[in-house]
Amino acid sequence: MKAKFLIPLLLFMVLVGFLAVGLNRDPQEIPSPLVGKQAPAFELPQLADPKKNFSPESMKGQPWILNVWASWCVACREEHPVLVELGKLQVAPIIGLDYKDKREDAMTMLALQGNPYLLSAFDANGRVGIDYGVYGVPETYVIDKAGVIRFKHIGPITMAVLNQKILPLLGELK
């Protein structure tokens, strides 16, 4: 048996190792080190009006939702109608964090698909995303009156997540 003919098998074994580990990790829901901690502070220009800034500090005193999104993100479009529904319920303000996006693309998407956000902060180079440990877009955080992150969801929120997790949690936080 020549060694070089074993290479494909070895490569495959390495791949299987990764797949096996990957299988035990749910890509949608990962315990975040941030849950239970103060939401990282930042100051970013707003999407609609670059002259105005937004900082999480200004949201203190009420529970709110931070949703990381981008116009280039396919899953965000899937999630969008759910957010619009949530916005209509008026239970808590939704702040968008528009992640590594182009301003005009983002504005377009909101104009076309509806804007559930009170406002969106514009994170052009993803710096704030790094502070929040954004793995992939979309991600959603529920932050309480004191500015502590209480819940984090990775991937699009579905009606089920909304009804079973987010809405009950917001009810508690009120």
Binding site for another protein (CB under 8 A): 1-2, 5-6, 8-9, 12-13, 15-25, 27-28, 30, 72, 74-75, 77-78, 81-82, 85, 108, 111-114, 133, 135-137, 154-155, 159
* Shortest CB 19 distance to another protein, Å: 6
* Shortest CB 7 distance to another protein, Å: 8
HSE, side-chain direction, 13 A CA sphere, residue 19: 6
Nearer to another protein, 95 or 106 (CB): 106
Nearer to another protein, 8 or 61 (CB): 8
Nearer to another protein, 28 or 55 (CB): 28
Q: Whats the size of the chain, residue-wise?
A: 174
CA distance 164 to 117: 21
SS3 71: coil
* Shortest CB 165 distance to another protein, Å: 17
Nearer to another protein, 106 or 173 (CB): 106
Nearer to another protein, 59 or 70 (CB): 70
36 Ramachandran zone, left/alpha/beta (phi>0; psi -120 to 50): left
**Residue 61 structure tokens:** 């005193």
* Shortest CB 118 distance to another protein, Å: 17
* Shortest CB 61 distance to another protein, Å: 31
Q: How far from 18 is each of 23, 78, 127, CA to CA, in Å? A: 8, 28, 29
Q: Give burial (CB, 10 Å; 0-12/13-18/19+) of 101.
A: buried
